[in-house]
Amino acid sequence: MHIYCVKFKTLRAFLLILLVAILLSINFGGSVAASVYFNYAMRKVPVYYVATDKKQVAISFDAAWGADKTEKIIEICNEYNVKATFFLVGIWVEKYPDMVKKIDENGFEIGTHSNTHPDMTKLSAENQKLELSTCINLIKNITNKDVKIFRPPYGAYNDTLINSAEELGLTTIQWDVDSLDWKGISAMEINNRVLNGVRNGSIILCHNNSDHILDALPIMLDRLQKRGYTISPVGELLIKGEYVIDNNGMQTAKL
């Protein structure tokens, strides 16, 4: 009886190893099945941060309502020789075309944040693409540049939305450091959140019209640079060429 028990355990272990070997050899749409075992996402996941040995981070500003602080944000960034990314909502672009032009002319990156800022997971694929393409066209009519990145409103996404974005040539971007500036917290609290959470490859979320962003931003940029970080737009942080994204949203170069 003991001999049969040992043989059964040996056979079970062999079959498990064989199953793993088969899975590792299969490729599903360019994503190796090994992702099941090595934490790569089988579902669609946006980029939350980038795997890099470089001390580089990206700062982004979502713009949906209000623009009175945007020009000063640009001035502060220029003072520290920093370029950031602005994710713009289409209705904001229509209301502030001169500001969109200023953002672009100062060398900042522009991404789409949808056209009307809905929860896009509740839309059909067709309406998702309409939201994106409408905003893209509004931006391109002002800047004459292609839009390559997209941030979902409210951070809400699903496979359908990421597929819709990809079909329009967009990479979907989230963040791994949330300043929570939109909550009206103080400049000190904003900076504590950012500086305690930042790491190589981080994408920092801020908003262009939050209450204390103008007080927080110079401190943030100064402290990050003193820690040795290069601060760039999101597009310059992203990995070029083939990559994989794990379940935590880490973008890694595909080997």
| 144 class by beta-carbon count within 10 Å (0-12 exposed, 13-18 middle, 19+ buried) | exposed
Q: Is 62 a catalytic residue?
A: yes
Q: Is 207 a catalytic residue?
A: yes
Report how far residue 116's alpha carbon sits from residue 138's, in angstroms, rounded to the nearest whole number. Answer: 12
62, 113, 117, 181: which is the annotated catalytic residue? Answer: 62
Report how far residue 29's alpha carbon sits from residue 140's, in angstroms, rounded to the nearest whole number. Answer: 32
Report how far residue 224's alpha carbon sits from residue 229's, in angstroms, rounded to the nearest whole number. Answer: 6
2, 98, 207, 215: which is the annotated catalytic residue? Answer: 207
Residue ranges of alpha helices (H) inside 26-145 are 35-38, 70-79, 90-95, 97-105, 125-143
Residue 138 exposure: Cα atoms within 13 Å on the Cβ side: 26
The DSSP letter of residue 239 is P
| 152 class by beta-carbon count within 10 Å (0-12 exposed, 13-18 middle, 19+ buried) | buried
Residue 124 exposure: Cα atoms within 13 Å on the Cβ side: 3
Catalytic residues, by residue number, are 62, 207
